[in-house]
A and B are shown apart, each in its own frame.
Chain A
């Protein structure tokens, strides 16, 4: 039994930012299934959006950032939260700078900013093309400086709640091969996104949405799960991200006819239109036969070797290592890739999760909702920092006025029993095959374009896959670093929350942001300008809805 005032699940940017903030006041520990330095935040490339003094000189304003984000969200974002996101951004960038984050600089030594899709001004701060990596390093440095307790490679198996209050959790200490009970007054979820439900994704293997499934099973609804952002430029077949910065620096998208096809979809902003629009354009070109063997080209050659090597060096390395292509000499084959999870655990602007007292959420796993139906580039790193900090503050204040509640009896034996049943069953089903079936079909039936037939098929398939999952076989029955067990637990999580993606998508009879229904082409503000809430029911998800918070901007047609 381990006791802390506050537990943070996840050691990425949101989790570490929350831990650093809360650690000033209360006893806090971070639990993460990978070492914090391995977190997927580190893979974020392009940048972090914030209006700074410098961008104001070119006409930018906080109001413009707010407006762009609302428009980008296709009017599904909660405008009060978006105002907080944009207004607090400059202060948070300054804090990161003071911590030592190595932002790229202008000639005068100011933080440099670049263009990003959907933003009206060049307001995205960056560190070359490895912004996430640099921020992850910086926050981990601060974690070491402030001696924040971390449990690395502990996989959370079960969230323990009782009478709608948080009690703690059970986690699997992989290296020691043990299950341990943690008691805590409060828990902050910062477990990242759910891109791994899809077969082509920019997300890490670890991004299996574990936190969402834990909360969902404990009775928390999942919000807006049907909104999954596809990034237009994933490396063909691998899905590995080619940063939007590549287009921000001036890269072209070219189809098989040699045409810059964005001309036909977004003539004003071209390649830098909002991600959902560019992704649909790329997929349409491919689907209508103007692709090249299932992909289109991202052409950087005209930017020149020097610029590519200095500002997009990581991209050069990735394309060379994984596709064997030198992007200074040849165009890059790309296809859309599942990239970002707009949906997640509902949280207010203070990180508080409704329905269960003592739960908080921040970062990609949370749905605040600042991204609504579609996230703008540069806003996700920003969300982790702003709302990570805010959740850390709120959770520590909560902890200070709360006493540790008792853990329900037999918590550990129950979890142990469940795991034993799974590992030592006589089933012969191959978990990897079930996972593959889920991922490849989610892309086809619940990907960029959706319709009722595909979604219905997917709904039934998940039910069948869940049935098969109950009979999976294990080769590894030891407890030390059992990755077969971890992968099975992750698959169980993915099967659970994927049902909510499909259910939300089936019900939402409109097209908005990243959710594109070929059988309902238009946005329908009258009926659907509302958030989906999927509760766990006996027969699968039960849907409910809540209104979008609007402050000053009514819905308008989105044009780029």
Chain B
């Protein structure tokens, strides 16, 4: 088919600044972006400049940005990335453009050189100690890195802080720090903590960009944070304060206003030994019964969101069990590498979920994307260590709404008009749970009146995850404000999202801008509150103010 190529061009010998050139090309099935660039260079414009060599995804030469995302041109099927029959090809960012799609990779290579990327062994012995098959495999996974720079280009933190080591250099550190033959081990970790191991908000943009599928967050960064904790280099002082507070109060934020679970005294009851709220305010039989786990932030800071979720379920005839005891999922510990403190959180939540599951309420819903990802991905393995079989069906509330919609049990008729122009902010924890952006975008699109602007550059971060807000508030704030400014430039009223951490981050960003006398005229919309409003907010339980 005929495809429109918009390609970033810049010839330093002729041009003052880069510009976009529009070209057309017949693209057949199986052609990669690199094939297309070659076709253009060979037959349309010999001056088009790009790097390439192996064309089989192993040399790492041809990383470019396609529709704003970094990837290898040779590994990208052109017909898979078209947007309205067109594709945008630009050079990597965070590196100076030399010409067209060619950037100066030197600063990126320097991030690697800085980590002393070679094996240091004790030379007093003739033969170095052997390494087991398992250890070699473990290091091998990370050694897939081909230093193409795609992660460096898509890294949110690099964008606001060039002193950050970056994903590739961190992976290279892992390669040696976790090699039992290397004698620098702990020194490497110490150095890495100094060069920003805790600056990553675990947003996983690097993983999306990585052409070799390296699991940078879980296999590299979080593993290294565990190693840092074991070695006494982590977590950082600011994390320790936060963690003390969780250990003291059982939740990641202290109580300042009445928590959501204390707002509905008349619905309290005992359910097989568990104190819970049971909310069923509609006529007739419920469509289904669910357990609702709010998460610390929604329970203690975003009670309106809690009320909105209850409203949504009442409107749709879902009976809701809310355990009064909402124990922190432990995510703040995990994200900074404190694995050994997880046991009480896992066992307590296991007990609660298990009681419900044993008594017929098997659908456990969380309204916090961070808790959701923790329950789904971290709990099963941890629980196994503690001798528990954590095998519950955990859903995100929005995911559950979509399932109901597909079953025809979500009542989307006569929703009220909610007039606004907004952009959906796709939380990294939602993605970490394996939930696609389209689940939420499609739901939002069903609300009458909403104008949804989605730009392909939605891989932007709120800055609120991974313990960055506690330890590096500067980075966190810059990321939040940058995210909002980019959305604002697309002409929307505000960002719409469903992660309590994102909302906190953005609201703080707005407050900072206002204090600096640069108020943004921008709003943050909560996914559930918008739905509650569309459903008329006329459920039996009102939003509390």
Q: Are A205 and B55 in contact (CB under 8 A)?
A: yes
Kindly report which residue of chain B lies nearest to residue A45, judged by CB atoms. B58
Task: Report if A481-B56 is in contact (Cβ < 8 Å); known contacts: A102-B140, A133-B146, A141-B119.
Answer: no
Any B CB within 8 A of the CB of A110: yes
Any B CB within 8 A of the CB of A480: yes
Q: What chain B residues lie within 8 Å of A321 (beta carbons)?
A: 57, 75, 77
Any B CB within 8 A of the CB of A272: no
Q: Are B49 and A317 in contact (CB under 8 A)?
A: no
Given contacts A105-B133, A141-B119, A324-B30, 16 further A-B contacts (CB under 8 A): A37-B147, A40-B59, A42-B146, A43-B59, A97-B128, A98-B127, A104-B136, A104-B140, A105-B136, A110-B130, A241-B56, A324-B77, A430-B42, A432-B42, A480-B13, A484-B41
Q: How far is the CB of A404 from chain B (nearest CB, A)?
A: 30
Q: How far is the CA of A204 from the CA of B62 in the complex (A)?
A: 12
Q: How far is the CA of A134 from the CA of B98 in the complex (A)?
A: 29
Any A CB within 8 A of the CB of B181: yes
Q: Are A106 and B58 in contact (CB under 8 A)?
A: no
Q: Are A475 and B58 in contact (CB under 8 A)?
A: no
Q: Are B131 and A478 in contact (CB under 8 A)?
A: no
Q: Are A42 and B132 in contact (CB under 8 A)?
A: no
Question: Within residues 1 to 45 of chain B, which ones have a CB less than 8 A from any CB in chain A?
Answer: 11-14, 30, 32, 41-43, 45
Q: Are B41 and A432 in contact (CB under 8 A)?
A: yes
Q: What chain B residues lie within 8 Å of A106 (beta carbons)?
A: 133
Can you list 14 contacts pairing A with B, beta carbon distance less than 8 Å? A38-B61, A42-B54, A43-B56, A100-B181, A100-B182, A102-B140, A105-B136, A133-B143, A175-B104, A205-B54, A322-B32, A431-B46, A475-B46, A484-B41
Q: How far is the CB of B233 from chain A (nearest CB, A)?
A: 23
Q: Are B58 and A130 in contact (CB under 8 A)?
A: yes
Q: What chain A residues lie within 8 Å of B127 (beta carbons)?
A: 98
Q: Are A40 and B133 in contact (CB under 8 A)?
A: no
Any A CB within 8 A of the CB of B274: no
Q: How far is the CA of A205 from the CA of B73 in the complex (A)?
A: 14
Q: How far is the CA of A478 from the CA of B131 in the complex (A)?
A: 52
Q: How far is the CA of A481 from the CA of B103 in the complex (A)?
A: 10
Q: What chain B residues lie within 8 Å of A112 (beta carbons)?
A: 133
Q: What chain A residues lie within 8 Å of B61 (beta carbons)?
A: 34-35, 38
Q: Are A38 and B59 in contact (CB under 8 A)?
A: yes
Any B CB within 8 A of the CB of A370: no
Q: What chain B residues lie within 8 Å of A397 (beta carbons)?
A: none
Question: Within residues 454 to 489 of chain A, which ones have a CB less than 8 A from any CB in chain B?
Answer: 474-476, 478-484
Any A CB within 8 A of the CB of B454: no
Any B CB within 8 A of the CB of A557: no
Any B CB within 8 A of the CB of A109: yes
Q: Are B54 and A204 in contact (CB under 8 A)?
A: yes
Task: Report if A432-B98 is in contact (Cβ < 8 Å); known contacts: A100-B179, A133-B146.
Answer: no
Any A CB within 8 A of the CB of B473: no
Any A CB within 8 A of the CB of B102: yes
Q: How far is the CA of A107 from the CA of B127 in the complex (A)?
A: 19
Kindly report which residue of chain A lies nearest to residue B140, judged by CB atoms. A102
* Closest 10 pairs (CB-CB, A-B): A100-B119, A476-B47, A432-B42, A478-B13, A475-B46, A109-B130, A105-B133, A141-B118, A145-B118, A204-B54
Residue in contact with A205 in the complex, picked from B14, B46, B53, CB distance below 8 Å:
B53
Q: Are B53 and A204 in contact (CB under 8 A)?
A: yes
Any A CB within 8 A of the CB of B213: yes
Residue in contact with B133 in the complex, picked from A98, A104, A430, A476, CB distance below 8 Å:
A104
Question: Within residues 99 to 125 of chain B, which ones have a CB less than 8 A from any CB in chain A?
Answer: 99, 102, 104-105, 109, 113, 117-119, 121
Q: How far is the CA of A475 from the CA of B41 in the complex (A)?
A: 10
Q: How far is the CB of B436 from chain A (nearest CB, A)?
A: 20
Q: What chain B residues lie within 8 Å of A542 (beta carbons)?
A: none
Q: Are A128 and B98 in contact (CB under 8 A)?
A: no
Q: Are B58 and A478 in contact (CB under 8 A)?
A: no
Any B CB within 8 A of the CB of A64: no
Task: Report if A43-B54 is in contact (Cβ < 8 Å); known contacts: A102-B136, A144-B113, A475-B46.
Answer: yes
Contact mask A417-434 → B, CB, 8 Å, 1/0?
A: 000000000000011110
Q: What chain B residues lie within 8 Å of A39 (beta carbons)?
A: 59
Q: How far is the CB of B118 from chain A (nearest CB, A)?
A: 4
Q: How far is the CB of B167 from chain A (nearest CB, A)?
A: 16
Kindly report which residue of chain B lies nearest to residue A97, judged by CB atoms. B128
Q: Are B46 and A484 in contact (CB under 8 A)?
A: yes
Residue in contact with B143 in the complex, picked from A102, A142, A206, A476, CB distance below 8 Å:
A102
Any B CB within 8 A of the CB of A225: no
Q: What chain B residues lie within 8 Å of A324 (beta carbons)?
A: 30, 77
Any A CB within 8 A of the CB of B467: no
Residue in contact with B47 in the complex, picked from A177, A431, A475, CB distance below 8 Å:
A475
Q: Are B132 and A109 in contact (CB under 8 A)?
A: yes
Any A CB within 8 A of the CB of B52: yes
Question: Within residues 459 to 481 of chain B, which ones have a CB less than 8 A from any CB in chain A?
Answer: none
Q: What chain B residues lie within 8 Å of A478 (beta carbons)?
A: 11, 13-14
Q: Are A205 and B52 in contact (CB under 8 A)?
A: yes
Task: Report if A432-B43 is in contact (Cβ < 8 Å); known contacts: A105-B132, A109-B131.
Answer: yes
